[in-house]
A = this chain, B = another copy of it.
Amino acid sequence: MKHLLAIDGLSRDEIEAILDRAESFAEVGRRDIKKVPTLRGRTVVTLFYESSTRTSSSFELAAKRLSADLVSVKAAGSSVDKGESLKDTVATLSAYDPAAIVIRHPYAGAAQMVAGWTAAAVINAGDGKHEHPSQALLDVYTLRRRLGSLDGKRIWIVGDVLHSRVARSNLIAFQRMGAEVTVCGPPTLIPRGIEELGCEVSHSLERLGEADVVYALRMQQERMSESFVPSLREYAATFQIDTRRLNPRQLLMHPGPVNRGVELSGEAIDSPQSLIAEQVAAGLVVRMAILYELLAGSERPAPVSDDEPSPTPIGQPA
């Protein structure tokens, strides 16, 4: 693996390797010194053309815990000629010889393009409506920890599937790990022909009880003005996941940030069934694992925490 551009290109074995690596970082995270020297003296660039707190802070802290130097660029998209300006920006940042560039961009395919312009490893942190592979990996990680395996599990992805790169990446990842996926939402928010990806489609929550896992998507305000749904209130009446609709053996997930009272009720968010906080914690260790696999995976042994006697030879940095 040179880049992480999409879940679509990953085999089950490659996914499992990243999850196993993430487990080892979770162990590091329980130590007093939550840091490893793996990427010391190497540079990680984060380049975000869309706002983000969760994904960017998670990648940035992951890079720091691997001891990398971080260059963080938040770029507001310019209105013209985005492709070109992205190319020049990538050329500029590549001149620093970074080990990795983590990119979020509103255009589907942007990460793929960047990978053609730089010698750095490229990590897609979300490209338009296309993919968000690190989100899918952290979600699979979260479920594997809870369920042992996803094989034969039934997962419902509920909400605005049409506009969601998370839905797309997770649908692929969940299926590759052996789960059966149903996507659910009003017809205006389900892409036509999505059954061809091997999932089922439902336009109501009636059969939600069949699900082992309910994965709710973020409903965005701007969808209303575009007439995809009559109002958020009506959407919530029909598709909100609340504790009446959930049964106690079901697990609840959401990629965040949640619109409380829209796609999820406050009670559901705070219920013991909710894995939302675990997903965020998983985000950190899975992103450490992604950086590790891409940048140090083949060349180095398993990570060693700084708070243990270091096996590095004298004269090398610990």
Contacts and interface: CB of A to CB of B under 8 A. Distances in A.
Interface stretch (A123-131, A192-200, A239-247, A301-309): A301-309
Given A97-B34, A318-B317, A71 B81 contact: no
A69 B317 contact: no
A238 B117 CA distance: 31
A29 B40 CA distance: 13
A227 B42 CA distance: 47
A53 interface: yes
B260 A84 contact: yes
A228 interface: no
Interface residues of A, number: 60
Given A34-B43, A35-B69, A96 B318 contact: no
A292 to B, nearest CB: 15
B41 A35 contact: yes
A180 to B, nearest CB: 28
Contacts of A81: 260
A284 interface: yes
Given A53-B75, A61-B71, A315-B309, A94 B29 contact: no
A293 B57 CA distance: 26
Nearest to A257: B88
Nearest to A54: B92
Given A84-B260, A95-B277, A89 B34 contact: no
A295 to B, nearest CB: 11
Contacts of A91: 276-277, 280
A57 B84 CA distance: 20
A314 B277 CA distance: 37
Interface of A: 29, 31-35, 40-43, 53-54, 57-58, 60-61, 64-65, 69-71, 73, 75, 81, 84-85, 88-89, 91-97, 256-258, 260, 266, 269, 276-281, 283-284, 305-310, 314-318
27 contacts: A31-B41, A32-B42, A33-B41, A33-B317, A34-B43, A34-B69, A34-B97, A35-B40, A41-B305, A41-B306, A41-B307, A53-B73, A57-B96, A58-B96, A65-B69, A84-B266, A88-B256, A88-B260, A88-B269, A91-B276, A91-B277, A91-B280, A92-B280, A94-B277, A96-B281, A309-B315, A310-B315
